[in-house]
């Protein structure tokens, strides 16, 4: 498989758990073991392999082979050339595309296997915004020689990676204590994104929209709005270095 792979560096590696469940999008080639009518192929896929499906992981996988539900957002047949089918699929994280192709072949009664696969999107990361390894290597070599322009074009702020994570914004006076691992109290919050549920992963931001930390919501958005005191978010992973954010003078 080739394509998009988000890579985190240094302190940003703490962000990876928030990226583990990103929706994925692929293009690939399915080889049918016997030719079938294209209309039948599309009909079987639409009826049985779009939406919530039951999937058993393949034998060679890192997880137990128990049936589990995965969501296929769409599965489009782009082109059919004899037994070869070019497809475009978007799916929930943890979906095994090779197994999906095998199951489609079984449902058709002819068998099928995957011959090519390319990931073109992982969450907000798209292929057109990616960089080949050769370019990254060259940028690194230039950086070692003192020229960081190329590397700066490749690296992106950590905030860009988590548009899917709901946010709370805190006062400047609360930032330093959060950097030391303190929880986010209701009194320290200035803005809250709607839809936060208890137990949900949330991002803690400064008023300048800089990521301070990730945390676990101890209240819903409504509770954060209504309550006068209490812990709103338990701080889990801190990104901003201690003592680097200016505190307001009292």
Q: What is the 3-state secondary structure (H, E, C) of 16-35?
A: HHHHCCCCEEEEEEEEECCC
Residue 62 pLDDT exceeds 80:
no
pLDDT at 80 (0 to 100): 97
- Mean pLDDT is lowest, of 22-26, 28-32, 40-44, 54-58, for 54-58
Q: In angstroms, rounded to a whole number, what is the distance separating the alpha carbons of residues 80 and 244?
A: 57
Could you tell me the CA-to-CA distances from 197 to 165, 194, 218, 221 in Å, in that order?
Answer: 12, 9, 8, 7
The model carries a pTM of 0.84
What confidence tier does 18 reach under pLDDT thresholds 50, 70, 90? confident
Q: In angstroms, rounded to a whole number, what is the distance separating the alpha carbons of residues 233 and 205?
A: 12
Half-sphere exposure of 118 (CA within 13 A, CB side): 11
Burial 132-149 (b: 16+ CB within 10 A, else e): eeeebeebeeeeeeeeee
- Tell me, rounded to whole angstroms, the distance of Cα 239 from its chain centroid: 18
Residue 9 forms beta bridges with which residues?
none
pLDDT at 146 (0 to 100): 93
- pLDDT average, residue stretch 230-250: 76
């Amino acid at each position: 498989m080739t394509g998009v792979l988000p890579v985190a560096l240094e302190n940003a590696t703490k962000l990876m758990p928030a990226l583990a469940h990103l929706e994925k999008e692929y293009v690939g080639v399915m080889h049918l073991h016997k030719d079938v009518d294209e209309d039948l192929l599309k009909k079987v896929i639409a009826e049985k392999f779009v939406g919530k499906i039951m999937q058993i992981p393949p034998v060679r996988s890192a997880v137990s082979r128990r049936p589990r539900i995965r969501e296929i957002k769409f599965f489009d047949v782009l082109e059919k050339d004899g037994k070869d089918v070019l497809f475009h699929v978007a799916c929930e994280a943890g979906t095994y595309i090779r197994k999906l192709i095998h199951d489609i072949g079984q449902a058709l009664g002819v068998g099928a296997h995957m011959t090519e696969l390319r990931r073109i999107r992982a969450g907000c990361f798209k292929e057109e915004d990616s960089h080949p390894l050769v370019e990254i290597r060259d940028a690194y070599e230039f950086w070692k020689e003192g020229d960081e322009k190329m590397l700066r074009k490749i690296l992106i702020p950590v905030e860009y990676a988590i548009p899917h994570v709901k946010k709370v914004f805190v006062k400047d006076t609360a930032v330093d204590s959060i950097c030391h691992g303190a929880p986010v109290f209701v009194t320290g919050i200035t803005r809250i994104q709607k839809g936060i549920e208890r137990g949900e992963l949330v991002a803690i931001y400064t008023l300048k929209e800089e990521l301070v930390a990730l945390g676990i919501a101890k209240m819903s958005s409504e509770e954060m709005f209504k309550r006068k005191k209490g812990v709103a978010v338990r701080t889990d992973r801190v990104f901003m270095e201690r003592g680097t954010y200016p505190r307001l003078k009292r």
